[in-house]
Structure 1
Amino acid sequence: MSANSKLTVAVHALAWVGLYQSRGHDVATSEQIAESANTNPVVIRRLLGQLRSAGLVHARRGAGAGWMMSRDLADITVLDVYDAIESGPLFDMHRAEPNQGCVVGAGIQPALSNVYSRLDQTLRSELARTTVADVLRDTLSAS
């Protein structure tokens, strides 16, 4: 299984747009953001579309088209970004119901549901502690 990098790219995009705007620029294009993230602009547009639906960014169409922050980076937690782009639980059960006639099959889902619920609560709590402004500050300190 491969790790999902959507959250990383989405936070990267928001941090980049926020920094770009703080330096006096009006709008950022998906091509500019994609160059920083070293990905395809289509990937950026898809993520920014989800972030727009969550009210984190908005787009200007027509001449001078591009993306702008809807909220200050200090008012956006990584949990806000996660909720905007991720649908569904972090971990899930088998697609097929396990054999209920087996002692492990009958008890595995309730046992793991408890573990997964605690993991989800911990993840959400940790993501809520960090803003995109925090990430940008740490990013600029590291480079």
Structure 2
Amino acid sequence: MPSSKNTQFAVAVHVLTYLAGQVERGPVSSDELSASTNVNPVHVRRVLGPLREAGLVCSRPGVHGGWELATPAEEITLARVWRLLQGADPVLGLHGPNPDCPVGRGVQRSLAAIDGAVAEAVAAELERSTVQDILAREVQGACSVPGQA
């Protein structure tokens, strides 16, 4: 199965879900988020930057500082997170063909149109879930014992 080279969306959902589960505890350090996501703390902070700019998370400096949700988990749709991180980047990984090649230009236009439709379909599906939904599934799954119904 092919894997995405851009993991920012998955890391963002992981971090937001983790923070949603820690609301009562207070700020969570980048190092703790890094350990949970199994990625470098710098990558975690890069992912958190756009989320902070959008008002989904906030950070506090200092010894007892860290990251917290700034928006309730039930108000954060996965579509909003995806759009923040995806931006105008193509979903299909389009390339720049030779501008002198009529086939390349035609293929590029066709794929760009399909890419727009795919992006809208992805956003529509992600609009159906919130960070709170993911947290509820994660907590529910954590309580189940494999092999038991």
Q: TM-score if structure 2 supplies the norm length? A: 0.83
Deviation of 1:113 after TM superposition, in Å, equals 2.6
> Counterpart of 1:136 in 2: which secondary structure?
helix
The amino acid that maps onto 1:49 is G
How many angstroms apart in 2 are the aligned matches of 1:79 and 1:17?
Answer: 18
The amino acid that maps onto 1:62 is G
Q: Tell me the equivalent position of 1:109.
A: 108
Q: Once structures 1 and 2 are overlaid, which stretch shifts more, 104-113 or 3-12?
A: 104-113
> Counterpart of 1:58 in 2: which secondary structure?
strand
Q: Tell me the equivalent position of 1:125.
A: 124
Alignment length (residue pairs): 138
> Counterpart of 1:108 in 2: which secondary structure?
helix
1:36 aligns with 2:6: no
Q: Tell me the equivalent position of 2:18.
A: 16
Question: Residues 85 and 110 (structure 1 numbering): CA distance in 2 closer, same or farther, change over 3 Å?
Answer: closer
CA RMSD of aligned residues (A): 1.8
How much identity, in percent, do the aligned residues show? 32
How many angstroms apart in 2 are the aligned matches of 1:89 and 1:99?
Answer: 21
Q: Tell me the equivalent position of 1:48.
A: 48
| Unmatched tracts of structure 1, length 5 or more | none
> Counterpart of 1:91 in 2: which secondary structure?
coil
Residues 83 and 123 of structure 2 are in contact (CA less than 8 Å); yes or no, is this contact kept in structure 1?
no
Deviation of 1:123 after TM superposition, in Å, equals 0.8
Question: Residues 106 and 18 (structure 1 numbering): CA distance in 2 closer, same or farther, change over 3 Å?
Answer: closer
How many angstroms apart in 1 are the aligned matches of 2:81 and 2:130?
Answer: 10
1:63-121 CA distance string (max 9 Å, x none)? 42111111000000011111222232213543133612xxx445322322332221111
How many angstroms apart in 2 are the aligned matches of 1:82 and 1:41?
Answer: 20
Q: TM-score if structure 1 supplies the norm length? A: 0.86
Q: Once structures 1 and 2 are overlaid, which stretch shifts more, 88-97 or 120-129?
A: 88-97
Deviation of 1:2 after TM superposition, in Å, equals 4.8
> Counterpart of 1:27 in 2: which secondary structure?
coil
| Unmatched tracts of structure 2, length 5 or more | 143-149
Question: Residues 54 and 98 (structure 1 numbering): CA distance in 2 closer, same or farther, change over 3 Å?
Answer: farther
Residues 29 and 67 of structure 2 are in contact (CA less than 8 Å); yes or no, is this contact kept in structure 1?
yes
1:89 aligns with 2:90: yes
